[in-house]
Structure 1
Amino acid sequence: MTTSLRTWVRYLLALGSHYSGLDALYRRCRGAGLVILMLHRLRDDHDPYPLSVPRAQLRQIVAWLRERSALVALGDGLASLSSIRAPRVNYALTFDDGYRDNLGLVDGALGREPVPAVVYVATGHIGGEPIWAYRVVHAVESRSRDQIDLGGLGLGHFDLSLADDRHRLYTLLPPRLKTLKPAELQTWVDRICEQARPRPLPHDDRDMLEWDDVRRLAANGVEIGGHTCSHAILSRLDDSAASEEIGLSRASIAAELGQAPRHFAYPNGSNADFGDRDVRLVREAGFETATTSIEGVNRRGADPYRLRRYNVHEDRFRAPSGRLSRALFFSETSGMLGWLREWRAA
């Protein structure tokens, strides 16, 4: 099946399930649930990675959730799973890494009412260099040299003056770098920057939050969570390094805000990126919850240290026409479309 055909089939299934009431029936039958939305950047510029959401798009999603009185803080949503009241599905917003554009949560970009959210910050990047993926983007987009040789990574040569080569770099490089140990990854990102010789980034265009920004978010009701210090993938660290990444991130936030964070997010967050040891370390550090990037609805009895989330970016929940689709959003996040796919594959 072609990508275009799959897109149409997915969309038509969503339309049918949403407007026929099937996804609403599915929600009632499954009972109480918490859908945690995983976002990263809140900006309108094109992003070569699927990590950004335009403000208007998130504003629409927030409006839909408020129509249903379904938008809650993460802690409240988890508490509601064990409530004796009539079961319902709530939604919580989370943002990973700590990008400066997350200030849109408190500057009125999403409406007059405060938007409950958790922003998970990689404390070692606050006020400093962005996460490596955006160091690469800056190197490519602000380059003074076009020729990049990544033969040492098995990826060959790239001419960045060509749009196809830039797209190829953004497609091939991240999965290759993610296979490396942290020190090796950093070395290769440095080499790419050295070859591209990017122009300096003005301070006002910086990607990451500073501590004053973090305090502003917290003062306006946004919860600040931990996301390690260096955004290291925990499964690739030894016990000591993993413990330090988790513990120091919590200690840094507590020292800067005067209050220890309750929530944590595993960097990358797939099953391959953390394990039982990391769950134990997060719990022992004093965090009350931890989120993954594994998709699904959290139900009554969910492990608070293995919470599931739905990844949200500019192309997610769009109809084939390119417009944001209410039917796609609610049908996918009900869990019904995922259940249908699993049922068909069984």
Structure 2
Amino acid sequence: MTDWSYIFVTLYNINDVTALSLGFIFNSILIYTIWWLRNSYKGNYTKLFLISAVFDWVLSAEELLIRHQPHVKNHVMYVMGHGVEHLFPHDTFPYLMFPHGFFTIHGVFILAVQYHYRYVIMTDPTASGRQLAFDLILSISSGLIVSLGLCYGTYQSQAIPWEQWRDNIKDDWFGEYGAEHFVYASDLRFAGTKLYFALGLTFSTITLALVAYYAYKAWKFVNPANTVSRRTRHMQQQFTRTLVVQTCNAFLFSMFPITLNVTLVLFNPPGDRYYSAAVMPLISWLPAANGFMTLYVVKEFRRFALNFLSLGRLRRKINVSGPNGTNSGAESNTKNTSKAKALLP
């Protein structure tokens, strides 16, 4: 293996570990923040924040354990694993592919749930969580069906010896060293792989249509009674900003790399053996981007997280003491300090 290839594979792994670790940390802090503030900020918007954070937290943990590196060649998606999969027998690999297939595609499907329920609670702030639960069941079921197709395609690919699949890629850019990490392949010739791509494209198209539809409905909606409380309206505005940010994240870190991977498998364009290297490095940053931006955009979450990490306490100490150790700023900051203490764990 050439030196540049070794360096590239090493950087690939460093990127994934860094991104997924940050995603796990940010969403752990976010979940803890939501849990701690549960009595102060109840309601449907808090449920939406929590659902998104839990999904990103699980995605971070799952991808950190397996750390896949897809490689597309001649309508076949080869998967190199840099995690725990090598500890298991080869005949278990199709089952281990299931969580990866589910969580990566469900990162797209969950957008329809968020946009629909946001519209529901905008039109009826007293709406129960039944609609949210129903939407989640639909999105999770869709993700399960799609990922089952991928697992079946991987199972069918085992009809060809594992060593033969590996030999097909050992002369590619990552060389024999990279090929040693090969775990399984999904060949477009098999029905399961075709089902995976067909259902994935269909459900993703439906998801995007629903997102556009409910975003438009929410934009057009005007509450004539104007009966929502100030706090509800405040949370509504902050969740809307968060949802817009998460939608941008989903397009950049999920939809774009998934579309790229699908295009490479289906159409086999020139140079496809290299383009696929950009897929997972982008997807790996999705949980971190969502977790960090939610903590940043929602003021109450940001304030609590800073205090939790002691940064807020240090800032208040500096403000109260003044640059020369005096108490000149104490009186002017008493009110702000009291408010901040209310959010301390």
TM-score (normalizing by structure 2): 0.29
**Structure with the larger helix share:** 2
Task: Give the strand-richer structure, 1 or 2.
Answer: 1
Q: State the structure with bigger RCO (CA 8 A, min sep 6), 1 or 2.
A: 2
What is the TM-score of this pair, normalised by structure 1? 0.29
Q: Which has the larger radius of gyration?
A: 2
